[in-house]
Structure 1
Amino acid sequence: MSQCPYSSNPPPDGWHNAELNFSNSMSYGDYLDLERILNAQHPLSPDHNEMLFIIQHQTSELWMKLMLHELNAAREHVHQGQLQPAFKMLARVSRIFDQLVHAWAVLATMTPSEYKSIRPYLGHSSGFQSFQYREIEFILGNKSETLLRPHAHRPELLKELELAIATPSLYDEAIGLMAKAGLAIDPERLALNSKAPTQHDPSVEAAWREVYTDPSRYWDLYQLAEKFIDLEDSFRQWRFRHVTTVERIIGFQPGTGGTEGVGYLRKMLDTVLFPELWRVRSTL
């Protein structure tokens, strides 16, 4: 009699031909280095809820590592005028932000009294000090040399961020690409110091208006513009969910890193990464 396909009994040769002996080969845990990852959580308080707080932030940092991997590659592709690969990478970054938006719902299960039990153990540590998040902002054009200072005690990280702030942003590279395509960009904008934050430029807005007015002529730039909008849309949603979660847990208390907490985060909601792409929508 043939074995029922839904039987829970394994076939006599093992488990559905799955490899079961890893004494001389690489296993799943070996490949992912899970021993180190799963032993990287070191709660400082006796409170049960600190594990949630640690894992929430560690997983966010892992996603940010992937974002940096994609954004750096996308910037290089835009610089080379190879937009098709960049589209896929930018779409992936947008979906990572979506993932991080949903992750706030897990942290939101922490109540104010639960957070109060672990807060004294956090010292002045804060997500404000995330060097990966800062590098993401620099790549996207939101630059500030003042924000290098929290990393001065880590020379290797400071060096990485100094390079990031001095390198043209992803948006700078796109503007340069528009100029190469024959669109009229103010030479002063093209020569702008790479350490400067992105600011609205009338010539850039006019160039994007031309792209949106004639998509078939500038099809790749048109698609790039929409990838940028999609990315910033997802970034804004992540920031908003961050503010809401923090207010839900600590109200308007100051942050552990010294900022005014929710007040500071609300101000950050006003940051616009690609100003001309948003403003051009009002003039089409």
Structure 2
Amino acid sequence: MTDTPFDPAGDGAEMSFRGRMSYGDYLSLDAILDAQHPLSSAHDELLFIVQHQTSELWLKLALHEMEAATAALAGDRLDIAFKMLSRVARILEQLNGAWDVLRTMTPSEYSQFRDSLGQSSGFQSYQYRAIEFLAGNRNPAMLKPHAHRPALDERLRAILARPSLYDEAIRLLARRGYDVGEERADLSQQRDENEALIGAWARVYADPAGQWDLYELAEKLVDFEDYFRRWRFNHVTTVERIIGLKRGTGGTSGVAYLRKMLDVVLFPELWRVRTIL
């Protein structure tokens, strides 16, 4: 036994980084850790900022994976799409867990800095909007909060102009010979629920062994929406716990608006088909 402190250098660890790339350099930690700028003296404002900034980082990764999954489906590379969709589900699980931290903030603590937010609101999250559009929830009216940022508005319009994740899943079914009904002429508009598509998914679910990759695709999409719904529900619960039924800082009706969003279904035929199986 020795009282000499362990020196990692003796184990081969790099200890000098003058002129070399370190962990902080690679991750740009100086920029990230200097990006929190509370506008009040309230202790809990830092929690609020970190919660939302980390959520936006997870959303960035989710978008990256969803775009890859959508492209993979378009190219009939289902194995790659499954990998990406599984990762998105885990990301949404992380986002769900983050609400538990924010819920440690009480109404009185939030009220100490709420006025500092001005009109800013999570309702204005560009990345959240992009995820909705990419998944298939397409409401062009939701472009308006981003009109003041031409570059972001252009990116969102580009997403609306191309097939969504669910559109590509439907096109895949059509390539496999399933009747999926008519594709809408304007991809930027919301899809109408389609009886033919319900029938197509019913055929897939009726023969899992014979259509295993399509069956797995259906379940990956349901997993995605399942976790996404939980995220929305946790959002509603957290907001009501902290501000009750007050209006949101961004002007929405707050909890009432968020409850309406709980009724939005991304992949309606995949949920409807369960009733007829």
One fold, TM greater than 0.5? yes
Q: Distance in 1 between matches of 2:223 and 2:43?
A: 38
Equivalence map 1:77-156=2 (5 Å): 77-156=72-151
Q: Distance in 1 between matches of 2:4 and 2:36?
A: 36
Q: Are residues 1:272 and 2:272 paired? A: no
Out of 212, 226, 229, the residue aligned to residue 219 of structure 2 is 226
Choose 194-203 or 225-234, whichever is displaced more. 194-203
Q: Structure 2: which amino acid aligns with 1:142?
A: N
Residue 36 of structure 1, aligned match among 31, 51, 61: 31
| 8 A Cα contact 1:198 1:274, kept in partner | no
1:150-165 to 2 correspondence within 5 Å?
Answer: 150-165=145-160
- Letter of the 1:168 counterpart: P
Change (3 A) 1:30 1:276: same
Q: Structure 1 8/143 Cα, relative in aligned 2: closer, same or farther at 3 Å?
A: farther
* Cα-to-partner distance string for 1:151-189 (whole Å, 9 max, x where unaligned): 111000000011111211100011001000011121x2x
Unaligned runs of 5+ in 2: none
The answer for the alignment partner of 1:69 in structure 2 is 64
Between the aligned partners of 2:34 and 2:83, the Cα distance in structure 1 is 33
The one-letter amino acid paired with 1:256 is: T
Q: State the 1:24 CA deviation.
A: 2.7
Q: 2:41 is paired with a residue of what secondary structure?
A: coil
Contact kept, 8 Å, 2:96 with 2:230, in 1: the verdict is yes
Aligned counterpart in structure 1 of residue 12 of structure 2, from 17, 42, 60:
17
Deviations 1:178-237 (A, max 9, x none): 000011121x2x244211123310011000000001112221111000000111110011
The alignment status of 1:197 with 2:190, answered yes or no, reads: yes
| Amino-acid identity (%) | 57
Superimposed CA distance per residue, residues 120-149 of structure 1 (whole angstroms, 9 cap, x where no aligned partner): 110000000000000000001111111101
Residue number in structure 2 paired with 1:55:
50
Residues 199, 275 of structure 1: 8 Å contact kept: no
Contact residue 184 and residue 191 of structure 2 kept, 8 A: no
Structure 1: unaligned runs, 5 residues or longer:
none
User: Is the CA contact (8 Å cut-off) linking 2:65 and 2:88 kept in structure 1?
Assistant: yes
CA apart distance, 1:17: 2.1
Q: Is the 8 A contact 1:104 1:245 kept in 2?
A: yes
Q: 1:195 to 1:122 in 2, by over 3 A?
A: same
Q: Say whether 1:251 aligns with 2:244.
A: yes
Deviant stretches of 4+, over 4 Å: none
Q: After superposition, give the CA deviation of every residue in 1:33-67 in whole Å (9 maximum; x if it has no partner).
A: 00000000111111111100000000000000000
> How many angstroms apart in 1 are the aligned matches of 2:10 and 2:41?
41
C-alpha deviations, 1:3-42, integer Å up to 9, x for none?
Answer: 67xx77215x835321100113211000000000000011
TM-score, scaled to structure 1? 0.95
Instruction: Output the CA distance in 2 between the equivalents of 1:47 and 1:191.
Output: 50
Please state if 1:282 is matched with 2:275. yes
CA displacement at 1:265 relative to structure 2: 0.4
Equivalent residue in structure 2 for 1:238, among 215, 227, 231: 231
